[in-house]
Each structure stands twice: as C-alpha cells, then as structure tokens.
Structure 1
Amino acid sequence: MRLNTRTWGSGDRTALLVHGIMSDSRTWRRVGPALAERGYRVIAVDLRGHGASSRGEYGPALFARDLVDTLPERADVAIGHSLGGLALALAVDRLRPERAVYSDPAWATTSPDGRIDAQALVAGGTATREDIAALNPRWDEADVDVELATLADWDPATAHFLGDRPLLGFLPTRPVVPSLVQLADPSFLIGAAAAAHLRRTHFEVRTVRGAGHTIHRDDFEGFMGSLEGWV
C-alpha cells in the first residue's frame, strides 16, 4: 500500500519519520521542521489505518511492507516511534537507511505476559481534550490539538493485532544498520532486561530523563538532544 506522506525541507540529506499507533504524520510538527533546518528533506508517513492513508488488514508485516512501498531506500536517517519503531525494524533490511533511530519502540513490554491491552488503546481513542491534557501535562496545547485530530482519523482496528502475540517476540537480535534506541523514563515497553539485551547486541541505548512515551512531544529539547551524533 502506498501511504500518505507529509514533507518538510529540500536539503541534500533525507530523513524518514514513522509515527506510533493512534497518531499520524502530524505528530512530527516540530521534529520535521527542526530536521529541515539541519539540511534534511524530511518525509513522514501516515501508517495504514492512520491519518489520510487507506484502511485494510493490519499487522506488523503489512505496516513494514507499506514503508518499503512508499519510502526511498538509503535515506540518511530513519526514525520510528512506538509502533513506527516496530514497523521500521521489520523494514530496515529493505530500506537500508544509513542510520536508524527507534524512539521507545514497541518491541517488548514490561507487562507480565508480554502483551499490550488492545482494548485499552481502543478506549483511548475516545479521549477528550481534558483527558489528553491530564495524561500529558508537559505537552503544548498545539500537541493536544494534534492528538484530538489524529484520534479522529484513526481506525481502532489497527490495535487488534496487539492481542495476537506477545510483543517480546519482536525484540531484535542485532541491528541491521547503526541503530540508536531512545527510551522514555521509565519506558513501559523496553524494561531493564530488554535494554541490557539491546546494549549487548550492539544497539546504542539512550534514555531521555523524565520523558513520557511520546518523547518528541513530552520533551522536544530532550528528544533532539538525544539525537546528537545521529542526525
């Protein structure tokens, strides 16, 4: 499936951005322009079932295939958040960016059974402005606006694959390209054991102190600072 895309900049370098579940390319409203100012042509996708992209069947392999169908190979850097980090990890051997950044990726979870509650995500799709602001007290008002808009354009059926298998099955065994894993503090996805595994297998792991799961909205400066040497 060819995905809807949003672009910033016209630089000689290319950066790819892949959002998390319940979101879309609008989540990168500050990151896209910031990378463009650094000389990148930035391309952000709407995953299937999100934003202006088409609906259909859902699953990790399909999310990954869509990235391959839509995005250019050999980008200078690719950044995937949460579900986007999972999709990027499954597509990285075909996209082959120079560097990959996985921002609090959905590769595992700290829950005892290794699963995320899909029904809780679906229920979150009906969140009000007040709910979003209360859950994310560090967000700018503009990010609350974006969250409301992206929830309105999200197909909740995208969450159902999460109940089919433990996320622990997606923890990579090695980086395909030089890779940074950027973690929230604390991360409900990548716990201490998973982080230690990633370090042992040659991923660089950095934690953005005090940041929530959507690091780039919770602490934009911390997010960008954590990318030093990678963008």
Structure 2
Amino acid sequence: MQLHTRTWGEGDRLALLIHGVMSDHRTWRRVGPALAERGYRVVAVDLRGHGASGRGAYSPDIFADDVAETLPTGADLAVGHSLGGLALSLAVDRLRPQRAVYSDPAWGLAGAMQGVNLGFLAQFKHAPREQVKALNPRWEEEDVDNELASLAVWDEATAEGLAPLVDADLLPDAPVVPSLVQLADPSLFLSAEQVAELQKRGFETRTVAGAGHTVHRDDFAGFMASLEGWV
C-alpha cells in the first residue's frame, strides 16, 4: 500500500520518519522542521490505519511492507518510534538508509509492557482530552491537540495487528546499517537485559533521562541531544 506522506524542507540529505501506533505524521511536528533546518528533506508517513493512509489487514510485516513500498531507498537517516521502530527494523534491509534510529521500539512486550494485553489500546480511540493530558503531563498543548486529531481518524483495529508482539522477542539479530536504539526512561518495551543484549549485537543505545515512551514529545530537547552524531 502506498502511504500518505508529509514533507518538510528541501535539503540535499534525506530523512525518513515513521510514527508509532495511534499517531500519524503530526507526532513529528517539531522533529520534521528541526531536521529540515539541518539540511534534510524530511518525509514522514502515516502508517496504514493511521492518518490519511488506507485501511486493511494489519500485522508487523504488513506495516513494514507498506513502508518499504512507499519510502525511497538509500536515505541518509531513518527514524522509527515504537511501532514505527518495529516496522523500520523489518524493512531496513530493503530501505538501506545510511543510519537508523529506533526510538523506544516495539520489539516485544518487555519493560513496562510486560504481561500487558494489547487489546487495551483500542479504548484510547475515544480518550478525552483530560486523559491524554494526564498520561502525558510533559506534552505541549499542540501535541495534545494533535493526538486527539490522530485518534479521531485512527483505526483501532490496528491494535489487533500487534498480537505477534505478545510473548515475542523481536530484537533484530544484528544492525543491518549503523543503528542507534534510543530509550525512554524506563523503556516501555525493552528490559534492561534486552538493552544489554542489543549492545552485544552491535547496536548503540542511549537513554533520554526522565523521558516517557514518546520521547520526541515528552522531551524534545533531550530527544535531539541524544541524536548527536546521528543527524
């Protein structure tokens, strides 16, 4: 499926952004312009079931196939958050960016998600503003606005497509390209043991102290600082 995209900038370098579940390209409202200021042309997708993209069957492999079909190969940088990180890891051998950043990627239900039933995600489709703010106290008002707008057009059936994450270990065997794993504090999906294993497998890891799962909205300055040497 060809996905809807949003572009910032006209730089000579190319950056790709892939959002997490329940969000869409609007989650990158600060990251896209910041990378554009650094000389990138930035392309962000709406995953299927999200934003202005089409609907259909959902699974990690299908999300990855859509990303590989839509985005150009050989970008200078690719960043995937949460589900977007999982999709990127499954498509990275086809996209072949120069560098990949996985921001608190959904590589299994460990960390703070240990034992959680993903079916609970569907209930957030109609979350009131007060609940979104309470769950994300560090977000700016525009981020709350964008989350509510994204939820309004989100197909909650996508949550069913994440069933393979239950009792799964989807950690990549090795980085296909130079790769950074950026972690929330604590990570929503990765345990300390998994982080150590990723380091053994050749991934660089960095934690943004005090940041929640959506690092780029929880602590934008910390998010950008942790990308030093990668952007």
**Structure 1 position 206 matched with structure 2 position 206:** yes
* Aligned equivalent of 1:64: 64
**Structure 1 position 142 matched with structure 2 position 142:** yes
* Aligned equivalent of 2:35: 35
Contact 2:113-2:188 at 8 Å conserved across structures: no
Give runs of aligned pairs for residues 165-180 of structure 1, distance below 5 A: 165-166=165-166, 168-180=168-180
Contact 1:179-1:204 at 8 Å conserved across structures: yes
Give runs of aligned pairs for residues 3-18 of structure 1, distance below 5 A: 3-18=3-18
Cα separation, partners in 2 of 1:106 and 1:164, compared to 1, 3 Å: closer
- Match for 1:154: what amino acid? W
CA distance in 2, matches of 1:101, 1:111: 19
List alignment gaps of at least 5 residues for structure 1.
none
* Aligned equivalent of 1:221: 221
Cα distance, 1:112 vs structure 2: 9.7
CA distance in 2, matches of 1:167, 1:221: 34
Cα distance, 1:170 vs structure 2: 1.1
Contact 1:114-1:166 at 8 Å conserved across structures: no
Cα distance, 1:109 vs structure 2: 2.4
How much identity, in percent, do the aligned residues show?
A: 65
CA distance in 1, matches of 2:89, 2:48: 17
TM-score by length of 2: 0.97
Cα separation, partners in 2 of 1:138 and 1:114, compared to 1, 3 Å: closer
- Match for 2:29: what amino acid? R
Cα separation, partners in 2 of 1:107 and 1:125, compared to 1, 3 Å: same
* Aligned equivalent of 1:196: 196
List alignment gaps of at least 5 residues for structure 2.
none
SS in 2 for 1:159: helix
Cα distance, 1:117 vs structure 2: 1.9
Q: What RMSD, in angstroms, separates the aligned Cα atoms of the two structures?
A: 1.4
Question: How many aligned residue pairs are there?
Answer: 231
Q: Deviations over 1:93-152 (max 9, x none)?
A: 000000000000000222699564222101122211110111111000000000000000
Cα separation, partners in 2 of 1:196 and 1:36, compared to 1, 3 Å: same
* Aligned equivalent of 2:19: 19
Q: Deviations over 1:162-183 (max 9, x none)?
A: 2345363311110000000000
CA distance in 2, matches of 1:176, 1:113: 26
Contact 1:116-1:163 at 8 Å conserved across structures: no
Contact 1:3-1:48 at 8 Å conserved across structures: yes
Q: Deviations over 1:182-227 (max 9, x none)?
A: 0000012011011000000010000000000000000000000000
Structure 1 moving runs of 4+ over 6 Å: none
CA distance in 1, matches of 2:171, 2:114: 11
Give runs of aligned pairs for residues 89-128 of structure 1, distance below 5 A: 89-110=89-110, 116-128=116-128
SS in 2 for 1:206: strand
